[in-house]
Structure 1
Amino acid sequence: MKQEDISALIKNGETQEVEFKEGCPSGHKLAEIICGLANTDGGVLILGISAKKEIKGLHCDLDKLQQDIANIRQSIHSSPQVSTSIHAFDDKKIALIEVNKANDKNAHTFNGAVYVRIGSTTHKLEGQALFDFLKNKQILCFDEQDSEAKIEDLDEHRIENYLIKRGQPDYLKSNNSPEFILNNMFGRLNGKLKLKNVATLFFAREPHRWHPQNEIRIVRFSGTEPINIISQRDFRSDPIENIGQTISFIRENISKRFIIPQDSPRRIEIEEYPHPVIREAIVNAAAHRDYYSYDSIQINIFEDRIEISNPGGLAQGLTKEFFGKRSVRRNPLTYRILRDCHYVEGLGLGVPQMRNEMRKAGLRDPEFNFEGGFFVVTLRNAKSNIKPVEGLKDLNSRQLNALDYLRQNKTIKSKTYANINEVSLPIALKDINELIKFKFVKKIGSYRGAYYVLNEGVKNVK
């Protein structure tokens, strides 16, 4: 790092990525700071600088310091990428320790503990904070965690059906169920056989008993608002059966038209949504949802659209920029089973294919939204005709209610929107996105800290 860059770091003071120490801290303290920087965003530790940004210089053996840092790096599991350099400022020497950020699915530990940076300080993670960190890193994958179920709780018919789809119908003739579980890494031996969650999710006699969150709730409404329910179903079996039942329900509850080609006397049935798009959206919801969440997959069928909402935003390592271009797996064993059953291909082609099928049918591209911990897919049919809002006449009652709230309270969060309108968070986020699109409100901040304010010129619109 250049001298002027170091000077700029010192001038700007301590941050989440920068820490100063006036002298040479103990090896234990250095390890905690390096571990914390690596587990957060990476950064720089500068020795010889006071908390008041004064260059004090170091008076310890610098050769020994660099050797100590190399040893400290080895004491952290797994060893982070660290580089150390010595710099002179007005005959005062300082040490610059640069720490690279950990890989997306890796966490560094020191003495078995995880440290992170929060603001300009280093913290040891414990309890729920540690669980959330490891889950977000996808180090704790739900389907790979131990289940309380026993081998007797599994349904051999479900295993047989899976093996048939995988092209191994005779597998159980030469292997028993425990061997199937171990050979496929759906469990482990620790004195006795321990099933993983994936085993009970797909093969238990009662999957919903072990995983009540593994549920798809589907509602058909009349009109375009979630008011009058025509029909509804809850599916609570294994993911494969849930997918099949959900697709069947949707196909029974959407419109169809018939055409007779010129070269054939037979009529052809055309559904208002391309079947491959429906299938891909449902499979993705089951494959990529956050199974740690207690929320269900929610599907709403309206006159002009279908909304598919599942808990879990973008998986770790996937940004909005690369969504639809890369395949990242939140639940690797779940994904493998669905791939074996020919539901997914693992090439990241699903989203482009959905767009292509919708365009071939003369429909709008699918809409993908990631907010409030939910992933929402909206499919619009030919009846959908969103037009620019003139005044407020095209807003629904919830949106009008939110604008009145904003005139009195200046800001609103998505959770507040959902509460004052007594709707779910996915519906609230969909409404808010329309208000943003038509420039009634604007978003301030991101993630959990995000809130919304009125755009200039809206306050007086009636």
Structure 2
Amino acid sequence: MIIDGKPTRTEIPSYDMSSAREAILNCYCHRDFFRKSNIKIEFFDDRCEIISPGGFFDGLTLEDALNGLQSFRNENLVKLLYKLEYVENYASGLTRIFQNSKELDIVPEIYTSLNMFKVTLPNKNYEALYLNPEKHIEDNKVKSNGRVNSDINEEDFQLENQKDIEILEIIRDNPGIRLKEIAPKLKSKYPSINSNIIYKRIKILDSYIEFRGIPKKGG
């Protein structure tokens, strides 16, 4: 998300929606319905994993599929999705994922075995959000006199990291809270979070926080 002074904010999706759509449709077209397992879509900081039960069908390989060779485990379902215009062209989904990703300068990963087929899509915003967030926030930050003690509005603060928003909300709602008391409030949602992580985030969010009392100890 970029806020540049215009009436509306500019959204920067973390994932190419066309590639995600193709990967999810691929799951429904080719999953093994005899396996007692569900299609899984999991999000991590740096990637999204889309997992389908069952690997390639009838001896097909990844190279074969990328070269346009067809092999249908669920032929009637594929035909139905094609008639409903969810599927645009038989055996073109994986090729389209790689083409879209190449245009965006990102590299998807494909893993396949007898039991599963997994597409991993990189988070396009990962570097900006997690590897160099200080520069990202500084480059896009809205100049404002607002402080945490006033209402926090995601459109007023250039914070794409959900943890940062929640940290600020905790400080706002708990005046005088100490740094070591913040992590336990987030532990259920972010099990790996600790006081060291909070400290690093607080340093980045310094311009949004009004410190009172002993420096850097209270909210």
For 1:284, the equivalent position in structure 2 comes to: 26
Which aligned runs of 4 or more in structure 1 are off by greater than 3 angstroms?
264-268
Structure 2 residue 97 is matched with structure 1 residue 354: yes
Shift of 1:361: 2.4
Q: Residues 372 and 352 (structure 1 numbering): CA distance in 2 closer, same or farther, change over 3 Å?
A: closer
| Structure 1 position 337, deviation (Å) | 1.1
State whether residues 363 and 380 of structure 1, in contact with CA within 8 Å, keep that contact through their aligned partners in structure 2: yes
Partner of 1:315: 57
Q: Hey, what's the Cα distance between the residues in 1 that align with 2:3 and 2:61? A: 42
Structure 1 residue 337 corresponds to structure 2 residue 77: no
Separation of aligned partners in 2, 1:338 and 1:258:
37
Q: Shift of residue 328 of structure 1?
A: 2.0
- Equivalent position SS for 2:66: coil
> For residues 117-146 of structure 1, what are the alpha-carbon distances to aligned partners after superposition, in whole Å with 9 as ceiling and x for unaligned?
xxxxxxxxxxxxxxxxxxxxxxxxxxxxxx
> 2:41 is matched by which residue type in structure 1?
I
Task: For 1:336, give the aligned amino acid.
Answer: K
Superposed CA offset, 1:17-69 (max 9, x none): xxxxxxxxxxxxxxxxxxxxxxxxxxxxxxxxxxxxxxxxxxxxxxxxxxxxx
Which residue number in structure 2 is paired with residue 373 of structure 1? Answer: 115
The CA deviation at 1:265 is: 7.8
> Is 1:272 matched with 2:11?
no
Structure 2 unmatched ranges of 5 or more: 128-219
Q: Given the two structures, how large is their TM-score scaled by the length of structure 1?
A: 0.25
Q: In the alignment, which of 296, 299, 324 is matched to residue 38 of structure 2?
A: 296
Cα distance in 2 for partners of 1:374, 1:312 equals: 4
Higher normalized contact order (CA 8 Å, seq sep 6+, divided by chain length): 2
Cα contact 1:368–1:377 (8 A) shared by 2:
yes
- For 1:361 and 1:286, the matched residues in 2 are separated by 25
Residue type of the alignment partner of 1:309 = I
Q: Hey, what's the Cα distance between the residues in 2 that align with 1:350 and 1:358? A: 12
Q: Displacement of 1:293 after TM fit?
A: 0.8
* 8 A Cα contact 2:51 2:117, kept in partner: yes
Do the aligned residues in 1 keep the contact of 2:54 with 2:113 (CA within 8 Å)?
no
Q: Call closer, same or farther: CA 1:323–1:373 in 2, change over 3 Å.
A: same
C-alpha deviations, 1:317-342, integer Å up to 9, x for none?
A: 42232122223211011111111111
In structure 2, distance between residues paired with 1:367 and 1:317: 20
Letter of the aligned partner of 1:272 in structure 2? S
Judged with a 3 Å threshold, the aligned counterparts in structure 2 of structure 1 residues 318 and 346 are, in CA distance, closer, same or farther, namely farther
Letter aligned with residue 362 of structure 1:
D
Amino acid paired to 1:311: P
Query: What TM-score results when the alignment is normalised by the length of structure 2?
Result: 0.51
Cα distance change on mapping 1:337 and 1:347 into 2, 3 Å: closer
Give secondary structure in 1 for the equivalent of 2:20: helix
RMSD between aligned alpha carbons?
A: 2.5
SS at match of 2:40: strand
Q: 1:380 to 1:259 in 2, by over 3 A?
A: same
2:39–2:50 CA contact under 8 A, matched in 1: yes
> Is 2:71 the counterpart of 1:328?
yes
| Alpha-carbon distance between aligned partners in 2 of 1:317 and 1:345, rounded to the nearest angstrom | 24
Gaps of 5+ in 1: 1-256, 385-462
- Asked if structure 2 preserves the Cα contact closer than 8 Å seen for 1:327 and 1:346, the reply is no
Larger radius of gyration: 1
Mapped to 2, the partners of 1:259 and 1:332 lie a distance apart of 47
